[in-house]
Amino acid sequence: MTRRVLVVTHGGRPEAVAALSEAVRELTAAGFEVALHDDDLAESFGDHMAAARVREGVTESEVVMVLGGDGTILRAAELTHGTGVPLLGVNLGHVGFLAESERENLRHAVQRLAARDYEVEERAVVDVVVHLPGEPEPMTGWALNEATVEKAQRERMVEVGIAVDGRPLSSFGCDGVVISTATGSTAHAFSAGGPVMWPDVDGVLLVPLSAHALFARPLVIGPRSTYTVKVLERSAVGAVLTCDGRRRIDLPVGAQVEVRRGALPLRFARLFTAPFTDRLVSKFSLPVVGWRELAAQRPERGDDRYDEAERDGRHDDPEQDKEA
């Protein structure tokens, strides 16, 4: 039985095209049938790829391999959501929190994929329901990272009301609110001052953006609860709802957005089983050794290491003292 991999990448970046060329070569050599999601890129690979040019057919693939940063992975998630097909991210961006492998390990990733030496991890999404004034039927959407309600005009605040499970909780003027999954807690919500949530935390996070209020703290609700964000009648401006920074809808005054934990998770192919703590330290380059520990490792006067450090002029550099 032929095994098939669909490759998604950022076609406008030269490094992505170079990585794509290597990925196609390695996957083909490993016995996979390779399909490219981007027709234009497929054409650049010549006639031998013509039969594999697709825009659909995700469900026939074993894995969707994504070459790019988190933005490209979010684009690929639009293809796999609801299909059960896992994403395998190869990071070509900066942080790449959603990616599983780095560019230099692409060949190794293909080898692991060919050997079926990977695990599948599920990540919760949020389902979004939008009620617009005068519209009889709501609009629906979803997000892997976050659904963000932000003011439509930069010079004015938007007035919002927040409710949980239909019960009013608070109202305030603000730049907006971010409603995030545990996966998205390291994205927009994190930059807005929200907490980092471990991926297995089954909750939904809300973080106000520049709220003019005494009580406007981040909130976390459980998997069976629902946030409601309403653009209040007293608001001088409307708002904009954006899901994962990609899909948006205008929210006039009176519009209401409901966000809850989604029913259909996204699936990711994982090559490494290191704890999330290690990923956090690695991606954010966190200093796991504090300055007090470094200072404690510095040699004392009278120690041979001290005399050597004094000759080298290294007493003011704890990192060099540590290496000594």
Residues with catalytic function: 70
* Rounded Cα gap, residues 59 and 84, in angstroms: 8
| Structure token pair of residue 97 | 């929190």
Rounded distance between C-alpha atoms, residue 179 and residue 167, angstroms: 17
- CA pair distance 306, 300, nearest whole angstrom: 6
The torsion angle over the Cα atoms of residues 38, 266, 187 and 207, rounded to 10 degrees, is 130
**Is the CB of residue 96 less than 8 Å from the CB of residue 283?**
yes
Could you list the beta-strand ranges (E) of 165-251: 167-174, 176-180, 204-209, 219-221, 226-231, 239-243, 247-251
Share of the chain residues as helix, strand and coil, in percent rounded to the nearest 5: 30, 30, 40
Q: Please choose, from the candidates 176, 209, 173, 174, the residue with its C-alpha nearest in 3D space to the C-alpha of residue 190.
A: 209
Q: What angle do CA 39, 45, 47 make, to 5 degrees?
A: 85
Residue 160 CB-density burial (10 A; 0-12 exposed, 13-18 middle, 19+ buried): buried
271, two tokens:
């090559």
Strand partners, 140: 129
Question: What dihedral do alpha carbons 53, 56, 62, 68 form, nearest 10°?
Answer: 70
Q: Taking the CA atoms of the chain, what radius of gyration do you get in angstroms?
A: 24
How far apart (Å, rounded) are the C-alpha atoms in residues 251 and 230? 9
Q: Give the containing element (helix H, strand E) for 127.
A: strand 126-131
